[in-house]
Homo-oligomer: A and B are copies of this chain.
Amino acid sequence: MRRVERYLWGFFPPSGQDDPVDEVLHAVLDAPGKRLRPQLLLLVSRLGADHAAKRERLCKLAAIVECIHTASLIHDDIVDDSPLRRGRPTIQSRFGKDMAVYTGDLVLSRVMTELFADGLSQSGLVLGQTMQTMCRGELWQYAGRYRVDVTPDRYRKAIYGKTVALLAAACRVGGLESGCTAPVLEAVEDYGTHLGYLFQIRDDLLDFLSEQDREGKPVHVDFQEGILTLPVIYALAHPDHRQAIERLVGIAAERPLTAEEQALLVQAVRLSGGLEKAIYELDQHYACACAALKALPDGKIAAVLRKIVKMLRDSLPNKRPTAKMVAG
């Protein structure tokens, strides 16, 4: 991973002159992150016969995938008007929306240049298609805000673009470039896809399961912005709770929800069984991700990949809602 960091910083060397762009790029690279996507790419690549020979290429690709993720976060923060990301000011809040638009574009065009310069056209094609899917997912989600007719299928389509596609692509690219066989390639992409769904559903559940709101931190940001997540969508399908949630969606479109209204939202989602249904879906993705790993030839790598999804699943606080929680 140290090599990956070196590539990341190497993509954007400071010009040395009095260049305002240097400061913005430094802030972009310096942002803390789990680097999940590059780690996944490198892990998967160890399943291919050429992984040792192509080590530099793979580290560079891992950095490129992280850049695509970073650029998407920069642009997402413009749309969400987010002041903070992982505890630090976002590019848009620190340098303005306008700088953020072009900084995201700069990171993407740098990625494109690197891919062409190194003749990484197979991975370039995968990543170009993935970026399209990501944009379409975001557009799709944005256009559907505050719509109470949103279905679980629409939700899945949106999060496929928002989260799943790039995680699956990281696995695919790692497998492709290291020379994995077709069945292994299919298995790792399948794993990445289910990991992606698990990852996003977990994130959406956390909004209702965590205790963050009691510490005054902003929660239900998605709901406020009209983005209805899986627990809410399932709650909307419950005849006893549909009306309450529809009313709250209408309010969210007009003004910030009060603490009391937020509590009503949480109660409706909990009482409707929306949490259990979303957790059930998350568990299904966990099972599918583990099943996909059975096709892998290397038991050690499979075990590490299994650990990642297990950790994500188990880190859900109070994963099974208690009777007390359901009672509000």
A residues in contact (CB < 8 Å) with B: 19-21, 24, 75, 78-79, 96-99, 101-106, 108-110, 112-113, 115-117, 119, 121, 124-125, 127-129, 131-132, 134-136, 138-140, 142-144
Residue in B75, B98, B121, B135 whose beta carbon sits within 8 Å of that of A121 in the complex? B121
Bound form: Cα–Cα A112–B129 in Å: 8
Bound form: Cα–Cα A132–B98 in Å: 16
Residue in B24, B97, B128, B139 whose beta carbon sits within 8 Å of that of A21 in the complex? B139
A102–B121 CB distance below 8 A: no
Residue in B117, B125, B143 whose beta carbon sits within 8 Å of that of A117 in the complex? B125
Bound form: Cα–Cα A20–B139 in Å: 8
- In the bound complex, residues from chain B placing their C-beta under 8 Å from that of A99 are 139, 142-143
- In the bound complex, residues from chain B placing their C-beta under 8 Å from that of A125 are 113, 116-117
- In the bound complex, residues from chain B placing their C-beta under 8 Å from that of A20 are 139-140, 143-144
Residue in B96, B116, B129, B136 whose beta carbon sits within 8 Å of that of A115 in the complex? B116
- In the bound complex, residues from chain B placing their C-beta under 8 Å from that of A139 are 20-21, 24, 99, 102-103, 106
Given that A78-B101, A98-B78, A106-B132 are contacting pairs, would A143 and B21 also be in contact in the complex, using a CB cutoff of 8 Å? yes
Residue of B nearest to A74 (CB): B101
Residue of B nearest to A132 (CB): B109
Indicate how many identical chains form the complex.
2
- In the bound complex, residues from chain B placing their C-beta under 8 Å from that of A127 are 112
Residue of B nearest to A133 (CB): B109
> Please, could you name 13 A-B residue pairs with CB atoms under 8 Å apart, sorted by A?
A19-B140, A20-B139, A79-B98, A79-B101, A102-B135, A103-B139, A105-B108, A105-B135, A108-B131, A109-B135, A112-B127, A112-B131, A116-B125
Residue of B nearest to A138 (CB): B102
Bound form: Cα–Cα A140–B136 in Å: 30
Which one of A24, A96, A128, A144 has the greatest number of beta carbons of chain B within 10 Å? A128
Bound form: Cα–Cα A288–B272 in Å: 73
Residue of B nearest to A117 (CB): B125
Q: Looking at the assembled complex, report how far the CB atom of A101 sits from the nearest CB atom of chain B, in whole angstroms.
A: 5
- In the bound complex, residues from chain B placing their C-beta under 8 Å from that of A21 are 136, 139-140, 143
A132–B113 CB distance below 8 A: yes
Bound form: Cα–Cα A280–B132 in Å: 45
Q: Looking at the assembled complex, report how far the CB atom of A137 sits from the nearest CB atom of chain B, in whole angstroms.
A: 9
- In the bound complex, residues from chain B placing their C-beta under 8 Å from that of A128 are 109-110, 112-113, 115-117
B103–A132 CB distance below 8 A: no
